[in-house]
Amino acid sequence: MWQATYLFDWAFLLPLLPALSFVIVGLLGPRLKRLEHGGWVAVGFGFATMVIGVWIAVEEMLSSGGYTDQQYTWFSIPGNGTGTFPNGFSLVVGTLVDPISALMLIVVTVVGFLVLLYSIGYMHHDGGLPRYYAELSLFLAAMNGLVLSDNLLEFFLFWELVGVCSYFLIGFYYEKPSAASAAKEAFLVTRVGDILFLLGIFVYFATYATSGSAGGWAANGFPFVQGNQPFLAGAMGGHSTTLTIAGLLILGGAAGKSAQFPLHVWLPDAMEGPTTVSALIHAATMVAAGVYLLAVASLFLGFTPADQLAIVAIGGFTSFFAATMALVNTDIKRVIAYSTISQLGYMVLAVGAGFAMVGLYHLFTHAFFKALLFLAAGSVIHAVGTQDLFKMGGLGKSMRITGFAFLVGGLSLSGIVPFAGFWSKDDLLASVYGTLATHPVYWPFFLMALATVFLTAYYIFRAFFLAFSGPASRDPTLPTAHEASWVMTGPLLALSGLAMGAGLLPFIPAFASLLPGAGIPPHYGLSELALSGISLGLAAGGIGLAYSLWGNGKVYTAAPNSALGPVRALLLRRYYFKDAYDAIGLRGLYGLSRAADFVERYMIDGTVHGLERAFGGLSNRLRHIESGVVLDYAAFLVSGLLFLLLFLLVIAPWLVSTGGI
């Protein structure tokens, strides 16, 4: 048996190295002009992180998927023999290397390094480069820390740091009102999910922290493993209602981070940040953290059947819902953003159906071909200076490498054999299909996911044909397009190779150990082959329709009174969800804020200031009594004595005789 413990002991370097890059670039970046204001420093640290991350993943493969947990006590409260924790309580931090964290390390470190390298060319002419590379390094540190966390509390801390970095990077061009607004929108919407996630942690802790069946939660905080074995929900026993509530709260947190319905509205607007940010954070890593959370919760804590149905419903509906909005969008980045939401819905669907590892398999392949699509789009934007698909055209002739990269990404996203997306998407659909006999309630959401295959192929090749096919650009005022430098084309070619071959990696027995229990390599029986044929047919139909309407320079225009007009308007307005949220914010939350302001201003502050004025006026009147004249003071003294005498001789006896006292 392969023993690989030495390198696992150094897994803490994975968040530490990018954190050091953040400090160095943040402090010295303005002075490092010859190093792209710290860009090459970030690339160097990113490369070292990638080497260690991939090396750890390889050793995890060779060790047949074991669990290595290095824990360190954060703080400890001694026990006094009584109370909730009679034996005391400790919170720990640690690094957990297991199959799914190793799989995520490959995604985060490889895509992170390639995006950093690509940024050297893409961000060359932008201002604020030290801030950009420092924030990107901090994000990589947070994401590596998240996937290596060995307990829920540590997971949540890195989860929040990931969200903060996303806010900074979405609003990188903060002088643009739209970018500043998008950053605030992303921050607020994801905070809703984060609050739900935190409440879920509280429920888990309150229910199981002192449970004897939990096997020492009080000593280990919120562990994912015990004794180098996964801590499965079966060990908890009972508490089905509580577990359902906790699971729904966890789903809320994942929906916020992974932009699932109804918390999906922030991701398309997040495209206001640099395209490199979109490729790394909003395609490959951060938004995948929600799916990763669901997978971790499914494997280590477990979901009840009610939770599973809710997760399946959210995932299946979101996959179809987001794909429809991509059909008509004219912004190349937003088309890919809607695609991201849709594909994340696929992953959530798989986790809910009980196939967490299959969902992670699709997460793995999706990270590469989606990052490829974003970076190819960035290369186009870098060359022509616009994101409007209807102003592009004919770029395939002058940007052959970029056109090839976008084509590979589109074929993989569409699920065309033998590209990476085909293997993971087909395995996902086949797995969910296998549950329909015992869970017929899943049928509508499976059919939505299946229909999404057609929509996905159509919208991504609509974008491809509008941008790259045809004789020339539709806007003659755009600059002549040309291919970028090697620091941009190199990552495109590397990601193209991964988008073509990453789906085949699980067929290697050692790599398959990172996806235990996933049914990988997929088993292709008659029903699986039939489903693959249907899926391929739908994808081919979508590509064919896109070519007939948009291929070779054509631009489809609906008739003026066509029934498609209202549908197109509905999709462009995002089913009016954004308008509804804005109305809720303006009329609901703003109205509530004004009411709170009224209470504070006129009731609380008014009462305080009223008492202040009353006592001030009274004291102002009383201070005139202090005249300094001795005769006045003698008169006050005599008056007081006369009143006291009157009270004792007249008033008090009368009150006694009448029974008043």
DSSP class of residue 84 equals: S
- Is 75 a residue whose pLDDT tops 60? yes
At 640, the amino acid letter reads G
Across 221-242, average pLDDT: 51
Query: How far apart, in whole angstroms, are the C-alpha atoms of residue 582 and residue 50?
Result: 41
- Is 491 a residue whose pLDDT tops 60? yes
What pLDDT is attached to residue 242?
84
The β-bridge partners of 94 are 71
What pLDDT is attached to residue 520?
66
Is the preceding omega at residue 223 within 30 degrees of 0, hence cis?
Answer: no
- Is 509 a residue whose pLDDT tops 90? no
What pLDDT is attached to residue 89?
65
What pLDDT is attached to residue 210?
47
Q: Using 50, 70 and 90 to split pLDDT, how confident is the model at 388?
A: very high
What pLDDT is attached to residue 81?
62
DSSP class of residue 269 equals: H
Q: If you average pLDDT over each of 71-80, 202-211, 420-429, which comes out highest? A: 420-429
Tell me the Cα Rg of the chain: 32
Query: How far apart, in whole angstroms, are the C-alpha atoms of residue 271 and residue 279?
Result: 10
522 Rama class: left (phi>0) / alpha (psi -120 to 50) / beta: beta
Higher pLDDT, 509 or 262: 262
Q: Using 50, 70 and 90 to split pLDDT, how confident is the model at 389?
A: very high
Across 502-517, average pLDDT: 81
- Is 109 a residue whose pLDDT tops 50? yes
Q: Using 50, 70 and 90 to split pLDDT, how confident is the model at 208?
A: low
**Three-state DSSP string of 286-340:** HHHHHHHHHHHHHHHCCCCHHHHHHHHHHHHHHHHHHHHHHCCCCEHHHHHHHHH
Query: How far apart, in whole angstroms, are the C-alpha atoms of residue 435 and residue 534?
Result: 18
User: Three-state DSSP class for 91?
Assistant: strand
Q: Using 50, 70 and 90 to split pLDDT, how confident is the model at 16?
A: very high
Least confident of 101-105, 325-329, 463-467, 657-661: 657-661
Least confident of 103-112, 218-227, 326-335, 503-512: 218-227
DSSP class of residue 522 equals: P
Query: How far apart, in whole angstroms, are the C-alpha atoms of residue 309 and residue 16?
Result: 39
- Is 249 a residue whose pLDDT tops 60? yes
Q: Which two tokens stand for residue 338?
A: 């809607």
- Is 37 a residue whose pLDDT tops 50? yes
pLDDT above 90 coverage of the chain, percent: 53
Across 90-114, average pLDDT: 89
Higher pLDDT, 517 or 322: 322
Structure-token match 């509508």, residue found? 444
- Is 97 a residue whose pLDDT tops 70? yes
Higher pLDDT, 207 or 271: 271
Across 256-278, average pLDDT: 92
What pLDDT is attached to residue 326?
95
What pLDDT is attached to residue 82?
63
- Is 414 a residue whose pLDDT tops 90? yes
Quick check: 397 and 140 in contact, CB under 8 A? no
The β-bridge partners of 76 are 90
Across 241-258, average pLDDT: 92
What pLDDT is attached to residue 209?
57
Across 110-115, average pLDDT: 96
Across 591-607, average pLDDT: 82
What pLDDT is attached to residue 214?
34
Q: Using 50, 70 and 90 to split pLDDT, how confident is the model at 158?
A: very high
How many Cα neighbours within 13 Å face the side chain of 189? 29
pLDDT one-digit tens code per residue, 543-591: 999 999 998 888 887 777 777 888 888 998 989 888 888 777 777 777 7
pLDDT above 70 coverage of the chain, percent: 90
- Is 213 a residue whose pLDDT tops 70? no
- Is 4 a residue whose pLDDT tops 50? no
Higher pLDDT, 188 or 598: 188
Least confident of 308-317, 519-528, 610-619, 641-650: 519-528
Query: How far apart, in whole angstroms, are the C-alpha atoms of residue 336 and residue 377?
Result: 9
Q: Which two tokens stand for residue 555?
A: 């631009």
What pLDDT is attached to residue 605?
82
At 237, the amino acid letter reads G
User: Three-state DSSP class for 237?
Assistant: coil
Q: Which residue blocks in 327-468 are alpha helix, DSSP H?
A: 332-352, 356-384, 395-398, 400-414, 420-433, 443-468
- Is 608 a residue whose pLDDT tops 60? yes
Closest CA to 336 of 419, 456, 167, 186: 456
What pLDDT is attached to residue 85?
59
Query: How far apart, in whole angstroms, are the C-alpha atoms of residue 132 and residue 38?
Result: 9
User: Phi first, then psi: what are they for 383, rounded to 5°?
Assistant: -85, -40
Quick check: 18 and 137 in contact, CB under 8 A? yes
What pLDDT is attached to residue 237?
47
Across 336-349, average pLDDT: 96
What pLDDT is attached to residue 220?
42
64 Rama class: left (phi>0) / alpha (psi -120 to 50) / beta: left
- End-to-end, the C-alpha distance of the chain in Å comes to 96
Least confident of 224-228, 350-354, 503-507: 224-228
User: Phi first, then psi: what are they for 89, rounded to 5°?
Assistant: -150, 140
- Is 481 a residue whose pLDDT tops 90? no
- Is 593 a residue whose pLDDT tops 90? no
- Is 603 a residue whose pLDDT tops 90? no
Across 360-367, average pLDDT: 94
Across 457-480, average pLDDT: 88
Mean pLDDT, the chain, whole residue set: 86
- Is 57 a residue whose pLDDT tops 70? yes
Q: Using 50, 70 and 90 to split pLDDT, how confident is the model at 160?
A: very high
What pLDDT is attached to residue 522?
63
- Is 227 a residue whose pLDDT tops 90? no
